Amino acid sequence: MSSSAAHLSLATTGAPETPADLSDLLVRVARGDESAFASLYDALGASVYGLARRVVRDPSRAEEISQEVFIQVWQSAVKFDPARGSAKSWILTLAHRRAVDAVRHDQAATNRENKYDWSNGPDYDEVEETVTISLEHEQVRRCMDGLTELQREAVTLAFYQGYTYAEVADTLKANPATIKTRMRDGIVRLRDCMGVEA
C-alpha cells in the first residue's frame, strides 16, 4: 500500500458507491489494487470514522481506529466473501469490533490503575532528599580536597566539564600519560574516600 493511499483524508468525495461497486472494489483491493483501495476509503472512510466515534467518543481515538480498520481491510481483503454479505457491512463489522476492543482495552487499563491505591503509600520527602543530596555533595567536596592539585584539576575537567584526556593534558600543559596516571590515582582515592567498592 502506498503512502498516498494510506494517508487519505476522511472526507468523502464523489457519488456514493452501490453495494455491488463496493464489493467489486474490495475484491480488487484483495488483488493489491491501490486505486480500488483509495476509492473504497473515499466511499466508506466517513462511515467507519462515524461508527468508531459513536463507540469510543474520543475523536482522536476514533481516527486511530479508522486508520487501523483500513489497514486491516488492506491486509485481509482476501477474506471478504461477497456471497456472505456486502462490502460495507463487512468493513463496518471490522470497525465495530475494533472500536469495542479499544473501549475494553482502555477500560481494563483504567481498572488496573484504580486497583492500586497509592494514597496511603509513603510520600516523597523533598526535605530528606535535599539534605541527602547536600550531604553527598559535601562528601564529594571533602574527598576532592584530599587530592593533589593536579589530580583535582584533571578530575574536575574530565568529569565535570567533559574534557577528554588530550584536552585535559593540553589545558594543564602536562604530558597525556601523566594526566591518565594522575586521574586514575585520583579516582581510586575518591572511591576509597567515598566508601565505594571497586
pLDDT at 121: 55
Q: What residue numbers bound the domain in which 82 lies?
A: 3-115
Lowest mean pLDDT among 12-21, 140-149, 159-168: 12-21
Output 168 or 74, whichever has higher pLDDT: 74
Cα–Cα distance, 19 to 122 (Å, whole number)? 62
| 32 part of a folded domain | yes
**Location of C-alpha cell 486505486:** 35
The grid coordinates listed for 17 are: 458507491
- How many CB atoms lie under 10 A from the CB of residue 119? 6
Q: Where do we find the cell 583535582?
A: 152
CA 79/CA 10 separation, integer angstroms = 24
More confident residue, 45 or 108: 45
Give a yes or no: residue 46 inside a domain: yes
Chain-centroid distance, C-alpha 72: 22
Cell of residue 109, nine digits = 487499563
Q: Tell whether 137 and 107 lie within a shared domain.
A: no
Answer yes or no: is 58 within a domain: yes
Q: Would you list the DSSP string of 136-153?
A: HHHHHHHHHHTS-HHHHH
Is residue 120 domain-resident? no
What is the structure's pLDDT at 150?
83
Say what the pTM is: 0.50
pLDDT, tens only, 99-118: 998 888 888 777 777 766 55
Does 171 reside within a domain? yes
One domain for residues 60 and 84: yes
pLDDT for the residue numbered 88 = 92
Do 94 and 131 fall into the same domain?
Answer: no
Q: Looking at the structure, tell me whether residues 10 and 37 fall in a common domain.
A: yes
pLDDT range class, residue 179, cuts 50, 70, 90: confident
Across all residues in the chain, what is the average pLDDT?
A: 80
Three cell numbers, residue 121? 503509600
Grid coordinates representing 61 are 481515538
Mean pLDDT of 74-90: 90
Same-domain check for residues 55 and 147: no
Query: What is the rounded average pLDDT of the residues 176-185?
Result: 85
CATH of the domain at 88: 1.10.1740.10
Across the chain, where does the E strand assignment appear?
A: none
Which residue in 197, 160, 165 sits closest to 180, CA to CA? 165
Shared domain check, 54 and 111: yes
**Dihedral sign for Cα atoms in the order 57, 62, 64, 69:** positive
Encoded amino acid at 121, one letter: G
Domain count, the chain: 2
C-alpha cell read off for 40? 473504497
Assigned domain for 150 exists: yes
**How far is it, in rounded angstroms, from Cα 57 to Cα 103?**
10
Alpha carbon 155 to chain centroid distance?
Answer: 37
Residue type, 15: A
Higher per-residue confidence, 21 vs 125: 21
For residues 145 and 177, the answer to whether their CB atoms sit within 8 Å is: no
Q: Which of 9-18, 32-41, 107-116 is predicted least confidently?
A: 9-18
Q: Identify the DSSP state of 125.
A: -
Tell me the per-residue pLDDT of 89-98, one tens digit each, with 9 for 90 and over.
Answer: 999 999 999 9
What's the pLDDT tens digit per position in 58-73? 899 999 999 999 999 9
- Domain CATH number, residue 135: 1.10.10.10
Are 45 and 13 in contact by the 8 Å Cβ rule? The answer is no
